[in-house]
Amino acid sequence: MRYDLRHCGVLYVRLIPQVLRASHLNILLRHPFEFFYKFLMKSMLQRFLFLLMFTFLLPVAVAALTVEDESGNTVEIPDRVQRILPLTPSLAEILFALGLDERIVGVTDFATYPPAARKKPRVGTFMKPSLEKVLALEPDLVIAGSERQDEKTYAALKHFAIPVYRIRPVDLNTIYRSISNLGEITGTLTKAQQVILEMKKKAAKVERRVAGLPRQRVFYQVGIDPIVSANSQTFAADLIRRAGGILVTADNKVRYPLYSIERVIIDAPEVIIISSMSPNTNYRRFRQSWQRWNSIPAVRQGRIHVIDSDMVDRPSPRIVDGLARLADFIHPEVR
């Protein structure tokens, strides 16, 4: 059971008697000196008892921080979070960037950055972590970040009274917000503000570099077979806009729509950027396969590029480095 300092105050109030009763008034009128002596002694005793009680309760008076996470749920965060479990690779990157290395008890599969993340225990994939492995690590705070993660896992964690804080970034600005929120609930807000400031400097540098240049039409590919792209409600759309491009699939109603070669020909992108989400794919060969479609401006001009998906699809501090790389592809004339 948790206590906060308000409990101590309630107990103190309950110890204060109603001193000015009728019987007390009699004593006050007949023996005023005796009354004030007894009242003073009694008051001092109560204060002593309160201080004594406060001293003993202080070690267990862990004031929980009650917050609303980014999905709108109320979460009670322990006062001193010591065992944190991030349930996505990007969350692990953020927590390491905040200097929380020693408090990270585990990570999900594919959490490979920074290198220290490789040494942490694994709890399975971010979409479906192993509840058994999660519980074995005894986290006092779990941080989640993907709407695609297993709801059964959350329900189980709630059953075991393990608080889960969710983040929901959708673009660069909300990534800043998420980093700030994580800094606040982990007691590293100052460090979080430093990380955000550095990210903003890098992003501003890129945007200044491409300011005033004609925007290039970009096709962004996240799936190989079948071809999958992205719409305006993705990190890719925000990054491509900041890098001086126009995402040709931005208006699609589906967040990650399937796309045909015929549709790409119609959209006539000037740049094709392929996100390397599939580690076992031979991207060099796939890039060469685009050469069959010479009517596409990007193909005709040899502007087909592959980018590390970890740097553009993960909402972590490294995403601004991915932004700079996208700008290199879209506007090579101002590298």
Give the residue-averaged pLDDT of 240-262.
Answer: 95
Are residues 61 and 4 in contact, defined by beta-carbon separation less than 8 angstroms? yes
- Give the pLDDT confidence of 105-164 residue by residue, as tens digits: 999 999 999 999 999 999 998 888 999 999 999 999 999 986 666 677 888 888 899 999
- pLDDT band at residue 19, thresholds of 50, 70 and 90? very low
| Four-residue CA torsion sign, 241, 245, 251, 255 | negative
Q: Tell how far CA 335 is from the center of its chain.
A: 31
The per-residue pLDDT for 48 is 54
Residue 42: the pLDDT is: 55
Please give the mean pLDDT across all residues of the chain: 84
Q: Which two tokens stand for residue 150?
A: 């297993």
Which strand (E) or helix (H) includes residue 304? strand 304-307
Q: What is the mean pLDDT of residues 173-191?
A: 97
Query: Which of these ranges, 12-21, 138-147, 175-184, 278-287, has the smallest mean pLDDT?
Result: 12-21
* Type and span of the H or E element at 219: strand 216-221
The pLDDT score that the predictor gives to residue 193 is 98
259: its two tokens = 């796309």
Domain 65-168, CATH class in plain words:
alpha beta
Whether 89 shows a pLDDT value over 90: the answer reads: yes
**φ, ψ dihedrals at 74, nearest 5°:** -85, 130
Percent of the chain with pLDDT over 70: 78
pLDDT band, residue 2 (cuts 50/70/90): very low
Higher pLDDT, 46 or 292: 292
Confidence grade of residue 52 (pLDDT, cut at 50, 70, 90): low
* Burial per residue of 54-76, b for 16 or more beta-carbon CB atoms within 10 angstroms, e otherwise: eeeeeeebeeeeeeebbeeeebe
> How far is the CA of 117 from the CAs of 72, 131, 170, in angstroms?
29, 20, 24
27-36, 97-106, 226-235 — which one is most confidently predicted on average?
97-106
CATH number of 213-334: 3.40.50.1980
